[in-house]
Amino acid sequence: MRKVLVLHGPNLNLLGEREPNVYGKVTLEEINKELQELAKEFQVELRIVQSNHEGEIVETIQNSRHWADVIIINPAAYTHTSVAIRDAISAVNVPCIEVHLSNIHAREGFRQASHVSPVAVGVIAGFGKNSYLLALKAATSIILAEKKK
């Protein structure tokens, strides 16, 4: 079975309430439900984790190294600040897809730089909840390509 870790960073637990003009009105629970439905269609087992704590995110990434085929991560604010998360992704040798609901390149200058992007296989941003669904489709493609090798 294909295995994908979906990791939501800080403040994403407030989706639907937090700045709906930027992040939309969809809740994290709704995103997770749609991911689970798509995962069934793609025959993917998901582990979904949300944390507001950098160390917990690092430990989740590290603990996934022998389980996950791909990591989908929305590091949220840690995108722009966390070398520790970047280093954890680099260390585990699991393909990682960086996801953002908003287009970070069209936002404030400090949000346009990512520590994660250089160690990710790709970045999907600006499509709201569909960023996650597109990432799951990409993750499935990565897994299938790896299995053919």
- Pairing between β-strand 122-125 and β-strand 44-50 as defined by DSSP bridges: unpaired
Q: Is the pLDDT of residue 104 over 90?
A: no
Amino acid making up residue 34: E
Which pLDDT tens digit goes with each residue over 53-80? 999 999 999 999 999 999 999 999 999 8
Q: List residues bridging with 96 in a β-sheet.
A: 71
- Main-chain dihedrals φ then ψ at residue 73, nearest 5 degrees: -130, 135
**Contact (CB, 8 A) for 54 and 80:** no
pLDDT at residue 51 tops 80: yes
pLDDT at 111: 66
> What is the pLDDT at residue 102?
86
Q: pTM of this prediction?
A: 0.93
Task: Find how far residue 90's CA is from the centre of its chain.
Answer: 15
Q: Does 88 have pLDDT greater than 70?
A: yes
Mean pLDDT across the chain, nearest whole number? 93
Reply yes or no on whether the pLDDT at 19 is more than 90: no
Amino acid residing at 20: P
- If one looks up domain 2-76+84-107+122-148 in CATH, what number appears? 3.40.50.9100
Question: What is the domain partition of the chain in residue ranges?
Answer: 2-76+84-107+122-148
Backbone angles phi, psi at 18, to 5 degrees: -85, 120
Active site residues: 23, 100
